Amino acid sequence: DAKTTQPPSMDCAEGRAANLPCNHSTISGNEYVYWYRQIHSQGPQYIIHGLKNNETNEMASLIITEDRKSSTLILPHATLRDTAVYYCIVTPGAGSYQLTFGKGTKLSVIP
Amino acid sequence: DAGVIQSPRHEVTEMGQEVTLRCKPISGHDYLFWYRQTMMRGLELLIYFNNNVPIDDSGMPEDRFSAKMPNASFSTLKIQPSEPRDSAVYFCASRGTSYEQYFGPGTRLTVT
């Protein structure tokens, strides 16, 4: 059973905010939401993670709904280099020992 | 910091041959992970180590696959004998005290 559901693809205009949704309606109380991305032919790259509070770092913001059943990754000013597959992962504990990657969302940033 | 180093970057071999993939984790990291990525199955965790000890190898597909970590700075993933269905990109990742896993550039394996 997939723990997360993401749209297979999205487009975003360069310079605009990219909002990537993720549904995780069966998330448990001790499970964290992680986001990774994979730029073509490279290894995945960590973006951000959170439990229930919204989080922000230099790359992105993570908005988690109050019931924790869904979240949104926000790239505030998308560039062409942000074109990648974005993975939303739910994993128990903060340790992220075992990441189960789904199919992710292919984000295309359009000039 | 050089990041996670994997070698070779590309490997082409014939069915039945032994293949050894190598990984050097980031210095100071105590967790090491091996993943495999294919179009059909996506990115799968094969095995991970903590302090050089294998913790979970439930993702290793079959006995033809084996992984070792003789010391904190080196790990190998061996396939013997190799089969065409083993063709994939194999990633190594390491993790320290922070929450993120750092992935290497991958080894693209082609078995003909």
pLDDT in the model for residue A63? 98
Query: Does A100 contact B100 at a Cβ distance shorter than 8 Å?
Result: no
Cα angle B4-A104-A52, degrees, rounded to a multiple of 5: 85
Shortest CA distance from B6: residue in chain A: A43
Q: Which of the four pLDDT bands, split at 50, 70 and 90, describes residue A2?
A: low
Shortest CA distance from A48: residue in chain B: B100
**Tens-digit pLDDT profile for residues B38-52:** 999 999 999 999 999
What b/e readout covers A70-91, taking b as 16+ CB neighbours within 10 angstroms? bbebbbeebeeebbbbbbbbbb
What does the block give as tokens for A49? 């993670």
Q: Give the position of tokens 């013997």.
A: B80
**Tens-digit pLDDT profile for residues A16-30:** 999 999 999 999 888
The shortest C-alpha distance from B103 to chain A (Å) reads: 5
pLDDT in the model for residue B13? 97
The shortest C-alpha distance from A18 to chain B (Å) reads: 22
pLDDT in the model for residue A90? 92
Shortest CA distance from A87: residue in chain B: B43
Backbone angles phi, psi at A17, to 5 degrees: -80, 135
Query: Does B99 contact A44 at a Cβ distance shorter than 8 Å?
Result: no
The shortest C-alpha distance from B2 to chain A (Å) reads: 14
- Chain A positions with Cβ closer than 8 Å to B: 34, 38, 41-46, 49, 87, 94-103
Best CA proximity match to B56, nearest among B32, B29, B92: B32
**Which has the minimum average pLDDT: A40-54, A94-108, B61-75?**
A94-108
Q: Which long-range contacts (CB under 8 A, 24 or more apart) does A56-63 make?
A: A60/A35, A62/A33, A62/A35
The shortest C-alpha distance from B41 to chain A (Å) reads: 9
Q: Which of the four pLDDT bands, split at 50, 70 and 90, describes residue A3?
A: confident
Q: Give the position of tokens 């869904």.
A: A70
Find out whether B103 and A99 touch, Cβ atoms under 8 Å: no
pLDDT in the model for residue A97? 72
**Tens-digit pLDDT profile for residues A59-75:** 999 999 999 999 999 99
The residue of A31, A58, A98 whose CB has the most chain B CBs within 10 angstroms, and thus the best one to mutate to test that interface, is: A98
pLDDT in the model for residue B1? 65
Query: Does A44 contact B43 at a Cβ distance shorter than 8 Å?
Result: yes
pLDDT in the model for residue B80? 97
Best CA proximity match to A64, nearest among A109, A93, A23, A105: A23
What does the block give as tokens for A83? 């074109």
